Structure formats: C-alpha cells, structure tokens
Amino acid sequence: MTMPDASRSAVMLGIFSGLVSSTAALCWSLTGFVLIVYFYAYIHQNDKQDIVYSNHLVDTRKLEKVEEEEEFHFTPAKDRRSPRAIKRKGPRKPTSIIQEFLDDSSQVHAFFFPNKKTAISPIKEGNDSMHFYPGQLWLDTDGNPIQAHGGGILYDDNTETYYWYGENKDGPTYHAHESSAARVDIIGVNCYSSKDLWTWTNEGIVLPGEETNVSHDLHKSNVLERPKVIYNDKTDKYVMWMHIDDANYTKASVGVAVSDSATGPFTFLYSMHPQGCESRDMTIFKDDNGEAYIIYSSNDNSELHVGPLTDDYLNVSGFMKRILVGRHREAPALFKHQGIYYMITSGCTGWAPNEALAHAAESIMGPWETMGNPCTGGNRILRSTTFFAQSTFVVPLQGLSGIFIFMADRWNPSELRDSRYVWLPLTIGGLPDEPLDYSFGFPHWPRVSIYWHQRWRLPEGWRAEER
C-alpha cells in the first residue's frame, strides 16, 4: 500500500522530531555527566587541599610544642680547671657550666659535641631522614661535615634552590698570641645547595682566601666572618657582604664581593668602614620592595647601626641610624612578618654562649624595642645560653606564614672546625613575656618564640603555595 504524501511527511516529521529530542537529551545527559565528574573532582581536590592544610596545622602545632629538659647536674673533675679559669688570679671560684662547656676535656663539652656516630647524614638510610638534630654533626651529600659557619641562606627564585653560604673553618685552630681569641686562617666562603633545607650538596669554595699577598683583605692571616648573600634584580648580580678584620680585630670593616651566579665564583671588590664607622658582626637584609640594608655592631660593640645600601647593593648610602645604643649586642639576624621587622641578637661574650634577645620595629630604621628572651622550652640554662649557640640568620619558609627557621652556631673554640649548627623552629604570635623598653600601655608586638627540640622536622608539603 502506498502512503499518501501528506501522511508520509507527518511521519517523517515525527521521526525527525524524535531524533532531535533524543539527541538533545543525550547531549544534556553527557553535559550533566561531565558536570558531575567536574564537581566531584573539584570537591575531592578541595578535600585533598583541606587535608594538606590540616596536616600543616597539625605539624605546625608540633613545632610549637614546649619540650622541657631536666636541669643539668655535673661534678667537675678535681684535678683540672677550665683553660679560662687557669688565667684568673686570686682564690679559685666554682667552675660554671659554661666554663665546662668551653673545656674540651669535660663531660659537659662531650655532651654538647657528640661524635660522628650520631651525625645527620642525607645518605644514611632509616627514619632520620628530614629530621633536624640541633648540635649533632651534619654531613653533606658527600658524607663530609658541612663547613658553613656564621652563615646565611639565599632562596634563589631563578633556580628554586636554597643556597647556604658560610665560613669554611676546616683548618687548625690556634691563637695568634697568648691573649688572642681562638682562630682559623681564612680558607674561604663555602656554598651548599638544597631543595629541602636538609639535604645539602657542596658547591665548593665560592670566595677563596688569599695565600701569598699579605696586604690583601682576604689574606689567610686576617679574619672573614658572617658572609651573607642577596640577589639584585636590577643588575642580575649576587652580592656578598662579610665582616673583614685583622687577627687583633682592630680593622673592623665590611667586605663586598659580587658574582654572576649563586654558586660563584665571587670577585672580592673592597673593604670599608660603612658610613665611616667600625663594623664587626653584621648582616644584610633585602626588603619586599627590593631595597637592601646593612646592620652591624659598632663603637666597640656597644650599639648597632642600620642603613640602606645603594641600588646596586655594592655600597652604603650616606646615612645610618644608631639603634640599641649601650646594649652591647652582636650577631644580628633580621626578618620580617606582616609588615613588622624583627631581629634576634646575642650578647658580646666571645666564643661563649649567652642569652638571646628579640627586638621589633615598624620601620627597619627604628626605633627598635626589645621584647626579651625568645627561647622557649629546654631548661633554664639552655634558655639563658640560646641553647648553647649564637644567632646567625633566620630563614623564612616558602608556603608557611609565621614559621621560620632560627639558624645558630654552637661554637667550639678548642676545635673551630667542629663547631655545630643549631637550627630550630621560630614562630610569631602571642604577647611577649617581658615589658618593652618604651611601654606606654599594653605591649602590641607579638611574641617571637624559638622552640627547643632534640629532634624535629618541617611539616609535610611545606613548600606548597600558601592558601
């Protein structure tokens, strides 16, 4: 039977309409499925981020846990006295724990300088990976003790790598004359590289000492201390500043070196008295806007000076401010958090440890106020000696706001090459324990806390971007 044209058209139209409806339904179904998959992935991605963030919070709380230690009890041997006590005149005084700490034949000294069996090693298998053990020997990826004393850290955005610069003291310790301090001839500035702040690769001596030219600032008979490096975005140069002195510490100058690469070699330019003033312990600081500053002990270490560097970071500008006048502070370590400048300093007691102080300011040029001892945990003696160490640098951590690493040196004047590193978590928050220098009402600076831990590690995923 033949279907009429009108009927055939109606049927075809119905079939076509059905196909269109089915296709549209299929498209909408596929779209809905894709959206469901997308939202499922998005929700679970957020869940994963929340888990990571939660883990950060848990791990951060671990860093802020107060770890107490028992008070030290020791009985000095009766048949000897510490090297410093021998030189005293008059009646014999009781030996202090700091004198015992400085005496390389004492049990106290051995306790704070454990042997190589307890060394931190990146090539050692086991559960110690990524854990810091303050005061224990720290080895590089070649299995050698890290030689980067009095140093600082540069995070290089170009290579996404941390570089640790410090003094190479891997030479014999001696005294230039009877009344002089223990010293090691200038070997140079070492550089180590790392992606995780725990595994360090030796990049070699990036600024060597001078062997033959006795008139050179870096001649081995002189002093090179506390090298710090910052990167200049305008000139694409890496600039190193350091303390330069003679064996008697009468030169009291700063030195400047420059390099095209973070791993050197650095070319030494000159030494000088910044703003015409003597300079000993020092550091440099690069602010968020790219401006850089120098902070140094001056006037027989009775005060600190702070002043801006030139745009190329190779010199000082024409002005400076005197801060912490009459406080006799050295070893400044400067950092910044939420627009406030903070600084950790040490007292002036040579190689002997002493109490750290924390300071804060709204402007790097001051005025600076003192907030008291930031050391938390341990015991009374540990806190009063900065855990038997001296400040050198504070490392801001990528991805962890308000959490820093406090870098300090545990000096061993009987064998300076065996000086140790004390790295501890530093946090900002809460009120200071002591009144400020100029307190008009309640303190408004948050407390700086350096937490003692015998063993600790950074939070998992700490290098992830801040959320």
Is residue 54 in some structural domain? no
Contacts of 342 (CB under 8 A, 6+ apart): 334, 335, 336, 358, 359, 360, 394, 428, 448
Cβ atoms within 10 Å, residue 455: 11
Contacts of 279 (CB under 8 A, 6+ apart): 243, 252, 253, 254, 273, 296, 297, 298, 305
- Dig out the tokens for 338 from the structure: 């939420």
List, run by run, the mean pLDDT of 10-residue segments along the chain (467 residues): 46 43 51 44 39 46 71 53 41 76 95 93 78 97 98 95 99 93 98 97 99 98 99 98 97 99 98 97 98 98 98 95 98 97 98 98 97 96 98 91 94 98 94 51 76 93 54
Contacts of 333 (CB under 8 A, 6+ apart): 283, 343, 344, 345, 391, 392, 393, 394, 406, 407
On the 0-12 / 13-18 / 19+ scale of CB atoms within 10 A, 223 is buried
Q: Can you say how many angstroms the Cα of residue 263 is from the centroid of all Cα atoms in its chain?
A: 18
Is residue 95 in some structural domain? no
Is residue 72 in some structural domain? no
Q: What domain count does the chain have?
A: 1
| pLDDT at position 80 | 41
CATH code for the domain of 123: 2.115.10.20
Greatest CA separation found in the chain? Answer: 136
| pLDDT at position 93 | 58
Q: Dihedral sign, CA of 455, 460, 462, 467?
A: negative
Is residue 327 in some structural domain? yes
Tell me the sheet residues that pair with 403. 427
Domain that holds residue 145: 113-457
Is residue 204 in some structural domain? yes
Give the three-class secondary structure for 56: helix
Contacts of 348 (CB under 8 A, 6+ apart): 297, 301, 328, 329, 330, 354
- Of the candidates 222, 245, 224, 181, which has an alpha carbon nearest to the alpha carbon of residue 413? 181
Please say whether the beta carbons of 341 and 351 come within 8 A.
no
Is residue 5 in some structural domain? no
Is residue 42 in some structural domain? no
Entry pTM? 0.83
Spatial distance between the Cα atoms of 406 and 334, rounded to a whole number of angstroms: 10
Spatial distance between the Cα atoms of 294 and 274, rounded to a whole number of angstroms: 9
- Dig out the tokens for 45 from the structure: 């991605």
Pairing status of strand 448-451 against strand 375-376: parallel
Which one-letter DSSP state was computed for residue 118? G
Total H helices, total E strands in the chain:
5, 25
Radius of gyration of the chain (CA): 29
| pLDDT at position 94 | 56
Tell me the sheet residues that pair with 208. 188
In 147-262, beta strands by DSSP E: 149-156, 161-167, 174-175, 182-183, 188-194, 201-208, 223-232, 237-245, 253-259
Is residue 208 in some structural domain? yes
